[in-house]
Structures are given as C-alpha cells and as structure tokens.
Structure 1
Amino acid sequence: MQCTLCSEHSELYCADRKRSYYRCLTCDLVFADPDSLIAEADEKAIYDFHENDPYDERYRQFLSQLSEPLLTKLKKGMRGLDFGCGPGPTLNLMLEEQGMQVELYDLYYYPDKAKLQQRYDFVTASEVVEHFAHPARSWQQLFSLIKPASWLAVMTSLNELKTTASFKNWNYKNDPTHVSFYSRQTINWLAERYQADYEIVNGRVILFRC
C-alpha cells in the first residue's frame, strides 16, 4: 500500500471490526484503508451532530490548549485563518478577543474558496488533520496558506502508542471520520518536507514556523 502522505511503502499495521490500518515505513503515518472511507454526505452528517458552543467554557478551555501558546507568538492586529472551523466557530472568537483578525474556512460550513487563495500571518487547524483523507494534498495546502516566517498551529491527538494492541484499543481512532494518525516521527517528517521549525506543546499542539 502506498502511503497517503509521503507516497512511500506502507504495510498492514492492524485491523478492527470496521477497517484496516496501514503504517508507513518512512514517515510513520498510520492511516485507514482508503477503501473504507465514508462518503462526504455521511461525514457531514456526523459533523452536524457536533455541539460546539462558542460560549461553552469547557469547549473554550479545550481550545485554549492551542490558542494560548499560539498567542505568545503573535502580535495584535495579525490576520489569520481558522481552517476547518466546523459548524460552531469558536477559536476565531477567542483569538479576536485578543486583538487578532481571523477569517473562516470549512469544507462544509464555510466553503469560501477565495479564503484559500490568500496568505496569512497564522493558520489554525484544531482537530482537523486527523480527518485528512488525502494528507499529502491537504498538508501542502495548509503550508501554502502562511506567509514566510509565519505560524501554522495544529491540534490533534498524537499517536504515541507503542504496540498494535494499544492502537486497536485507542478510542481516538474509532471515529469513522478520523483516518490519519500522526506520531512525533511524522511531525518531524512534515517539518523537514516543508523546511519548518516546530515545537510540540502539551503533547497535542504543534506550532510550525517556516
């Protein structure tokens, strides 16, 4: 199986009752069998059930894992894009409250492709990259959105599991819309691919700068 990120050779990693997973021998991405991907209409139906309330303090606390370290890198007035903001945009409000300007893009809910033809001082992707069915194309798009010496802030649950048994029991991979899983090795591969510096904050937030 060809890796969906780096196009190198991957091998069958494990399988559960619903789908098989492959692991790349080069970039260490673990990805669901492409033949098991659900239709876009079914994917959106799942997202429609998400109850992301901009005024829910618990949700804001969750997003602060990304916003707080990112804000230490930014200056007031900078302009960014919340990529994959979902049906209840909240991260943009949190950043705007701190003096930033934030545009929105989401494939299903804010599908203004003109926002993807611009470049920004920062781009955020919170709980987005695990949904990438075509990660090579999607990561290239993310990095193309930032200006030189600007920031790409990503939040996802990193795969730090050491055994296939642990992966099979990992609840994060059970969401049928989660199809790409990244280890620290994968993040390092991405940084090298896009000539970016990076830091990992709290084990789940990655700040790229290139």
Structure 2
Amino acid sequence: MKRTFSLMVVFCLFGALQSCHRQQDVQPEVTMNELVSTFALKKVSAGELQNSGNFARFASVAEANEYLKKLQSIRHRSVSGKMAMTGEPGTASSLVIGDFRKKVLGSYLGFASEPEEIKPGQSTSTNSNWSYPFNTSVTIAWQTDYASPVATGYLTGFTMGYSFTQVQQTTSMNYSTGVMTYTINGTLNYNFLVEGIGTIYQQPFMIYGTYNTRNGDFIVHTYKGG
C-alpha cells in the first residue's frame, strides 16, 4: 500500500513538473499594437493597399512577426558580373547591371555560368547570398564621353509587396581608370495586410558599386539599414 502511495506521489510530481515546463515554453502572443511598435510600421487603409495591387497578406500577427524578424536580419549583399556596352565607346548610352536571375520555388533560373565571350548587352552569372525574394538592378545613363552619368536603382524578380523609393544618387566617372562609381540612397517598402489592417514596413536602402567601361566588369552592393 505504501509503495502504491509513493508511486502516485511520484507520478503527480512528474505531471506537475511537465505542466510547469509546458507553461514556460508557451510564448505570449504578439498583439497588433506590439507589432507596429516593434517594427515602426506605418498604418494605411486596407483599401488603399489593395488598390495599389502590390501587397502581401499574412494569416496572423504571429506569422507577420516571424517574417519581419527575418527581414531585419538581412543587411548586405554583393553581386558581380560583366555587362558589355552596346554602341561605340564614349557615345551617349545607358545599360542595366545587377542580378537578373529569378528565384523560382527555391531555385535560380538564368545564367548558370559565365559565357566565354561576352556579347553586347549580355549579363553573366553572379555571386550572391541574398535572402530576399527580389533582386537589385541599376540603370546607368550618360552623355557623350561619359559626361553627366546618372544611376537609377530598382527591384526585379519576385517583388510582391516590395517597392523601392529612390531619394538621391551620385555617379562619377574616373577617366584614368574608365570606372564609374555610383551610390543610390532610398527606402525599401514592404506592404502587407494582417488581420484586415494595412501596414508598411520601411527601412533605409542603399545601392552602390562600380562599372568598368573598358572591360564590362560591374559590382552591385546592396545595404539595408535599420
């Protein structure tokens, strides 16, 4: 009888400890107000966001919270490759540099390796460790003899919910080396709906790098602040 009583006590204590442990594992649910405060979200009307046609949708605040935490951890990316110019060197022109591959179902489709001969207007494969679903590209335009170069940054690939607002740019030409250097500053916007509420997540976004007008080598760096 004593043995039976002792076993019952042990089982009760074990059950109480397990219950306590499970309570400690349960994380408090994140509220919408906490989500807005933590990530400095900008609230907009759901109708305004839906009319824009460019937004994502989360099933719950917890789901949005996990995704935004991942976004905060992404900081820097570098892409390199080659892009030959079209037309005669020094004539007024423009070109696009960056990562042109599209991520589809976890795989990249596009250039698998650098071609032996670079044709005008052709991009090569790039090196990247990006975690965003979109890519970053830059258009550089210039006048005769590479005068007055101007750079414009934008997002390509899977951009649902994402947009980039360019605020300013500086681009210069080094005639000794034939290298253009550019810096683009702006804001990365992520638009989404959660629990019927429209929100925008914004962070400083900088695109910078170089383009060699002589051999076509380019570098596109992307840095996300916040």
- TM bucket normalised to smaller: under 0.3
Higher strand share: 2
Question: What TM-score do the two structures reach when normalised by structure 1?
Answer: 0.23
Rg (Cα) greater in structure: 2
Of the two structures, which has the highest relative contact order with CA contacts closer than 8 Å and spacing of 6 or more?
Answer: 2
